[in-house]
Copies of this chain bind each other. A is one copy, B any other.
Amino acid sequence: MDYAARERDADFLMNDVFNIQEKWSQIEAFQELSPDLVKAVIAEGGRLASEVMAPLNEVGDQHGCQLKDGEVTTPPGFKEAFAELTQGGWLGLSGNPAFGGQGMPKSLAGLIEEMFWAANSSLFLYGSLTVGACLSIDAHGSAEQKQTYLEKLYSGAWTGAMALTESHAGTDLGMMRTKAEPQADGSYRITGTKIFITSGEHDLAENIVHLTLARIVDGPKGTKGISLFIVPKYVPQSDGSLGPRNGWASGSLEHKMGINGSATSVINYDGAQGFLLGEEHQGLAAMFTMMNYERLSVGLQGLGAGDLAYQHSAKYAEDRIQGRSATGAQSPDTEADSLLVHPDVRRMLLTQRAYVDGCRAFAFFAGMQLDEAKHNGDERAERFGQLLTPVVKAFLTDKGLEAAVLAQQVLGGHGYVKEWGVEQIVRDARIAQIYEGANGIQALDLAGRKVVRDGGKTLKELLDALGGFDVDPSFQQPVEEAFARLLRVTDSMIARSNEDANLPGAVSTDYLDMMGTTLCAWAWGVMAGKAEDDEFGTVKKQTARFFFARLLPRTIGLEQSILADSDVLMDMPQALFNA
């Protein structure tokens, strides 16, 4: 499926909007990151995305993955493309240089990840899980574990997977039954069944490293008794070779709505050898290192899907001639005008673009916070990153689906048939709202943990910090009003939550939607102010106008909805939902 990486947008955000070279000059680890090097990274990432990964996107959907005799075969071409992805060092882009990573900023890596997701989300899933596994091992592993695993994973010789979910326990990890029995040699025997394991088994790498949550026998009940284990497909031996096949296997592949090129396995652990990662019973904390990365990254998956959808529908709308402009023929010499003369088609396209560009900007800002927290130990940036993570994950994936559905609508009947490709974007994008913590969980994390429990302190600091950016004068007032609205709603939510434990969950999804839209408003205000009068700048200014006139008003309705108490949800007797 054709995809053009947004190199110019990346440049605009880094240099015009966020003056990133100055920020990076204050971070020791980024001293050698010259503008030329950054440009080259973006260009090469874009090339890989559009020329190597994108052409396999439909192939992956059509062929899917096959399980035969316990072996999983990925779609034709995936092996070669994954080899190119890994040999370029892309999985270690922001990895630890001590073990072969390239140590680049998370914010920069995010721009690249968006491209990879857009080009081929199924293929990049094999990489994304690997990057996440590295983060967890780097943060919680012993020196020996880092030595054994990181370089192999950064290079893509081995890949990673995350094994949390069991069929009876999705979000509720405390109900987990997979058990870990301590062995005399310090390792554990892992036994149990996990479902929905993305990249759990496949043929793209010589080894697959599961990070598996399990309960050490006789450990505490609930989430406090859960530990994290490294459970490789082949256990690395002290001489560097790989041992025999470990005791786990893919029992079946899930049949999914989309991302068919990504192998999603049921994994049966039958006394597999596992190695404790981090502390006993501290598995959730260790897993969250991986999960937080994955959440940001999955947000970028939504963003990439939205941009891919935009590109396909904008192209179709320009090429397709149908009907006449309401103001008279615009192309009198052809049989009809382009779809682009119709205001409602423009609405569908500009809605996609306004969310895609706005979200890219605030996701980049979130990446900057992670960089400052990690490299400069900036405590406030750390909190900003934590606050923004659920918004990036949920808002970008929600808007990614919205964009994909709009793109499909632009294509009309062609949007519903497989040969045009856009229906695949809808099916592929849909998963991003569900996995890595469903968006309802993100919303509760935001409203409950990150805002109410914090008394709104971090949010207010964030809005103060954002207020320090120059905003285009034409949008100064609506941005200020949007901030004021968000603060008003926040205060109300916090006050009412004191007496109503259900309140944060009752309003959380609308609250997250409002925060995401408000962050988009800020981003558009700032971007419009930096836009010049050339074509690129005109697109930004006009899209900003559209956003403020047509999309920001959604927050006015959201405010009213959030002001409702939880009783409008909770008073319905439980038994009557199925009456």
In the complex, the count of this chain's copies comes to 2
Complex A-B, nearest 7 residue pairs according to Cβ-Cβ distance, in ascending order: A557-B557, A553-B560, A549-B564, A343-B506, A343-B505, A257-B423, A326-B501
Residue of B nearest to A549 (CB): B564
The reply to whether B257 and A418 form a contact with Cβ atoms under 8 Å apart is yes
Which of A557-579 touch B at CB < 8 Å?
557-561, 564, 566, 568-574, 576-579
Q: Return the contact of A256 from the options B416, B433, B573 (Cβ within 8 A).
A: B416
Contact B415 A322 (CB under 8 A): no
By CB atoms of chain B within 10 A, which of A171, A174, A338, A413 has the most?
Answer: A413
A165-193, CB < 8 A from B: 165, 169-172, 174-175
A572 close to B431 (CB less than 8 A) = no
Instruction: Give A323 to B346 CA distance when docked, in angstroms.
Output: 44
**B578 contacts A315, CB within 8 Å?**
yes
Interface size on A (CB < 8 Å)?
A: 103
Smallest CB gap from A341: residue in B: B574
Residues in B neighbouring A207, C-beta threshold 8 A: none
A550 on interface, CB distance cutoff 8 Å = yes
A79: interface (CB < 8 Å): no
The stretch of A142-150, A282-290, A469-477, A534-542 in contact with B is A534-542
For the complex, what is the distance from the CA of A172 to the CA of B439, rounded to whole Å?
40
Flag whether A216 is at the interface (Cβ < 8 A).
no
Complex alpha-carbon distance, A520 and B335, angstroms: 41
Q: A501-B327, A506-B343 are in contact. Are A196 and B336 (CB under 8 A)?
A: no
Please judge, given known A-B contacts A256-B416, A426-B257, A564-B549, whether A440 and B317 are in contact too, CB under 8 Å.
no
In the assembled complex, A340 has its CB within 8 A of some CB on chain B: yes
Tell me the nearest residue of chain B to A447, going by C-beta: B344
In the complex, chain B residues whose CB is within 8 Å of the CB of A348: 440
Note all chain B residues with C-beta closer than 8 A to A208.
Answer: none
Q: Which residues from B are CB-within-8-Å of A569?
A: 343, 346-347, 350, 546
Additional 12 contacts, C-beta under 8 A, given A257-B416, A350-B572, A426-B430:
A170-B322, A172-B322, A174-B336, A175-B335, A257-B417, A338-B574, A340-B574, A342-B505, A343-B502, A347-B506, A348-B440, A412-B434
Q: Is the CB of A409 within 8 A of B426?
A: no
Q: B416 contacts A434, CB within 8 Å? A: yes
A155 at interface, CB cutoff 8 A: no
Structural contact, A345 and B440, CB atoms closer than 8 A:
yes
Given contacts A416-B430, A417-B254, whether A336 and B172 have CB atoms under 8 Å apart is yes
Could you name 23 residue pairs across A and B whose Cβ atoms are closer than 8 Å? A170-B412, A195-B413, A256-B423, A257-B427, A318-B577, A326-B504, A327-B501, A340-B574, A343-B502, A344-B509, A347-B569, A350-B569, A409-B433, A409-B438, A416-B431, A535-B579, A538-B573, A539-B572, A549-B564, A551-B561, A553-B558, A554-B561, A557-B557
A555 contacts B by Cβ under 8 Å: yes
| Contact with A577, one of B336, B349, B423, B434 (Cβ below 8 angstroms) | B349
CB closest residue in chain B, given A509: B344
Contact of A543 with B by CB under 8 A: yes
With A255-B419, A440-B344, A444-B344 known as contacts, the answer to whether A550 contacts B568 (CB < 8 A) is: yes
Chain B residue at minimum C-beta to C-beta distance from A554 = B557
Residues in B whose Cβ lies below 8 Å from that of A559? 553
- The CA of A408 and the CA of B566, in the complex, are separated in Å by 23
Contact B568 A545 (CB under 8 A): yes
B415 touches A434 (CB 8 A): yes
Query: A401 at the A/B interface (Cβ < 8 Å)?
Result: yes
- Residues on B with beta carbons closer than 8 Å to the beta carbon of A504: 326
Residue ID in chain B nearest A435 by CB atoms:
B413
- Taking the nearest CB of chain B, how far is it from the CB of A169, in angstroms? 7
From known contacts A444-B344, A501-B327, infer whether A553 and B542 are also in contact, taking CB-CB under 8 Å. Answer: no
Q: Evaluate contact between A171 and B416: CB separation under 8 angstroms.
A: no
Q: How far is the CA of A439 from the CA of B406 in the complex (A)?
A: 11
Identify the closest chain B residue to A559 (Cβ).
B553
Taking the closest CB of chain B, its distance from the CB of A414, in whole angstroms, is 8
